[in-house]
Chain A
Amino acid sequence: MKTARRSVLKATGLTGMLAALGLSVRQPAFAQSPATQGTGRTAGFAAQTLGDALKHVGGGATITRVDSSQIQLQAPELAENGALVPLSVNSLIPGTTQITLLIEKNPFPLIATFTFPEGTEPSVQTRVKMAQSSQVLAVVKTTQGNESRLYVTTKETRVTLGGCGA
């Protein structure tokens, strides 16, 4: 009986839908965060200038510029396709808890924030859309006790075909 019902569910895709609703067996609850609580994401995502975006990332605190000996930011020198630009960031700064990616000339410069709990390497690779040739920025946040510090490194990437859509 159970098998028949399960196969019917599979056929109609309900199993997948239930899973997507998080109702499958013993999955970790989606940890509480502003995004999932719908109380609003970081306002920085609405910022339309790099300066505004950085203000939200940093909360007004000083952001120290560092070079590749501290933050290894890999971005292509030339991106043929702005819709698919691979980026890689690895922070060598002790106490790194967060890496934020920004693209200076995108319509909304704040691209993503990655938060690393204890035990996770402060390192991430992903692919982004770039509207046009621009500076790519990686901001690293370190937390030691109550103190947070911010560091940034940048790389220039040229784009031949912009990727944000027409």
Chain B
Amino acid sequence: MSTTSPDPMPQPMRVRANLVNGATEVRVLMTHIMETGQRHDANGQIIPAHYITEVQAHHVSAQGRSRLVLQAQWSTAIAQNPFLFFKFKGGAPGDKVVLQWVDNQGARRTDEAPIR
């Protein structure tokens, strides 16, 4: 999976937020190479680390009030195309969950999903 071409733009996350028994279950699939910085390319050069360093999730109510529901700090050892599942109490249809990540090269991505 090595590449020497310029990094593409941050790809969208797939976010699903479902209300189950009074709690919102959130599933996220991110697209990111999560390069460890330990692999070598065909010329023996180290492929630089490129990985999501921080993730945040906010629950935004239908009225627009936002609260942080998850924060994570990651290393290169989170698998490529990271998967994340977590849940928080509350949430209602019409609300949304907003996911954000930033990587070690300064790229960012924000995606959201309605709570169903």
Bound-state Cα–Cα, A30 to B54, Å? 10
- How many chain B residues touch A (CB < 8 A): the figure is 46
Q: Which of B53, B66, B75, B80 sits near A110, CB closer than 8 Å?
A: B75
Q: Which of B9, B36, B53, B82 sits near A16, CB closer than 8 Å?
A: B9
Residues of B within 8 A of A20 (CB): 9-10, 107-110
Query: A31 to nearest B CB, angstroms?
Result: 5
- The yes or no answer to B14 lying at the interface (CB within 8 A) is no
Bound-state Cα–Cα, A28 to B60, Å? 8
- The yes or no answer to B115 lying at the interface (CB within 8 A) is no
A 83-107 to B, binary, CB cutoff 8 A, 1 in contact else 0: 1111000000000000000010011
Given contacts A16-B9, A116-B70, contact A103 B87 (CB under 8 A): no
Residues of B within 8 A of A13 (CB): 9
Tell me whether A111 and B78 are in contact (CB under 8 A). Answer: yes
Chain B residue at minimum C-beta to C-beta distance from A26: B64
Chain B residue at minimum C-beta to C-beta distance from A41: B73
Bound-state Cα–Cα, A115 to B55, Å? 10
Residues of A within 8 A of B100 (CB): 22, 27-28, 30
Bound-state Cα–Cα, A41 to B103, Å? 12
- The yes or no answer to A11 lying at the interface (CB within 8 A) is no
A-B contact pairs, 21 of them (CB 8 A): A22-B108, A22-B110, A30-B56, A30-B100, A30-B108, A35-B53, A83-B79, A83-B80, A111-B74, A111-B77, A113-B73, A115-B70, A119-B90, A120-B86, A120-B88, A123-B87, A127-B83, A129-B76, A129-B77, A164-B36, A166-B39
**17 additional A-B residue pairs with CB within 8 Å, beyond A28-B98, A111-B74:** A28-B68, A30-B100, A31-B71, A35-B73, A41-B73, A83-B79, A114-B86, A115-B70, A116-B70, A120-B70, A121-B88, A124-B84, A126-B78, A127-B83, A163-B79, A164-B36, A166-B39
Q: Which residues of B contact A (CB under 8 A)?
A: 9-10, 12, 23, 36, 38-40, 53-54, 56, 58, 60, 64, 66-80, 82-90, 98, 100, 102, 107-110, 112
Q: Which residues of A contact B (CB under 8 A)?
A: 13, 16-17, 19-22, 24, 26-28, 30-31, 33, 35-36, 41-42, 45, 83-86, 103, 106-108, 110-117, 119-121, 123-130, 163-166
